[in-house]
Chains A and B, each alone.
Chain A
Amino acid sequence: MPGGDGEAQGLSLAVPPQPSAAQAKRGHESPSQERLTEQEVLRKLAEQFGPRLTDLAISGRREVSARTEREHVFAVCKALMEQLGFDHCSLISAVDYKTHFECVYHLHSTIHQLIFVLKTPLPHDDPIVDSVTPLWQGANWHECEAYDMMGFVFRGHPNLKRVYLPPDTDFFPLRKDYRFGQ
């Protein structure tokens, strides 16, 4: 439920995993004593990225959110995956705010059972952002769908193709300026 504060205050005995150990610990279901708290995640990210991450806040129980510019997305995601144990990419959403686009990443840590919501604005005429598929293979089709529906181009994606619409479609249906029948 929203609005709850992290109650795991006194259990912060977790040691942040080394970059390579994160790979080994992928899928390790750690008991709650070893889990990071939201405050620790907040602190580490603020230390590492400083002004590049704005609106860094605890936005719910076991949930941290932040905004960043599109140039820093890959670096932030890499830090989250390798140093903070966010090993599962739950969702990549594309939102059209008419003046700009926004790409929203929901990342999940199976080790610490935390959710991280990362939002990044993209200019309306140039929705290009770095792909996070090299970090999480599961992001592959999320990004393909964002391309298919909204027209986002993910740089560095191994195979950006349309998954729902026929490959020769030339419009992006979920954009707000698309009306059916054009």
Chain B
Amino acid sequence: MALFGIDTGWSSLYDFSEGVAKWIIGILSWIVGGLGDNLPWVFGDFLHWSDGIIRSDLHLALVAITVESVVLLLIATANLLTFIWIERKLLARMMDRRGPMYVGALGYLQQIADGLKLFLKEYIVPEKADRLGFDAAPVVLSAAAFFIIGVVPIAPGLGLTYQGSYASATVLLAFAAFAVPPFAVLIAGWSANNKYTLIGGMRAAALMMSYEIPMLLAVASVVVLAGGFDFVTIVEAQQASIWFAAPLFIGFVVFLICIVAELERIPFDLPEAEAELVEGWTTEYSGMRFGMIMAIDYLRGYIGCLLATLLFLGGWDGPAILPDWGWTLLKAYFLWVVFVWMRASLPRVRTDQILHIGWKRLLPLAMLNLLVAVVLVSLGWV
């Protein structure tokens, strides 16, 4: 795996994290084993037995995977910060103003400052709110988003693997996790004991669930063309023939629109429409919970752009000027710029019009797209 042009000799991220894990386990084992040597009787036996477990393969695998996850989280967070920065600066420039300017070079550190500020805010819970639902909903939302990060690879070796091999059917896993947020949103809106959040939550859930279907149909067409259910197969199929955005152009557009709807961005902003229902289903959240929800929104944006890149734009396919993860990220950023552009220029669509678009326009188009994919595969052109 080549990182910044230097050949690291690791075949995948797992190699790196296995090395780190072995080092961690070595230290742990030295401590526990050393204690076990010096302590008498049953303590010593117990510690020696624990030492055996620490040195086992299962433990090594677990620690290695944890290290991998941490690395991937750091990468995702770095990208998240840049995504937010691009949105703020680009949106501002399109509106003939500047955006963040002073904190950090070109205002890059502004969102860190904003996040830190949110830590200082008081966490207020409405009196009659259902505590379990209220507290659990953001957690479920975050968990679903982070789960997808684990499943989506940025480069052939740069993903959550076990000894270099991915989970099978990662596409299914990713989209299954993508389908969990509507429930979290509904629970969040209901448990805050507030008429407005209830309306907002119901609208958001209706919106998201109705846009899942054309999205999954578009993904199905990609799977049909690629012949496999995991991302590596799909990208390799695109590397072998042509980026799927070309034959499946309709599906690409449908997928992008569905991603915008899932992210609740303008033009599908109505559950959160600030002019009406204040913040929609997130109204009653304050402090860092609210910050988490906002950050997860952008994280899902990052994930959506990554998914679109891997499925339609060839993933890490590109000439060798940039490393493969560079190409993936470049394409994802390009899609994000398109999303920000949409936010700057379009008004909001009304809820019933959103559902009309989703069910009566996108669904037939997605099915047409699936038909195109099946025809292409059976003719053997792709």
Direct contact, A vs B (beta carbon within 8 Å): no
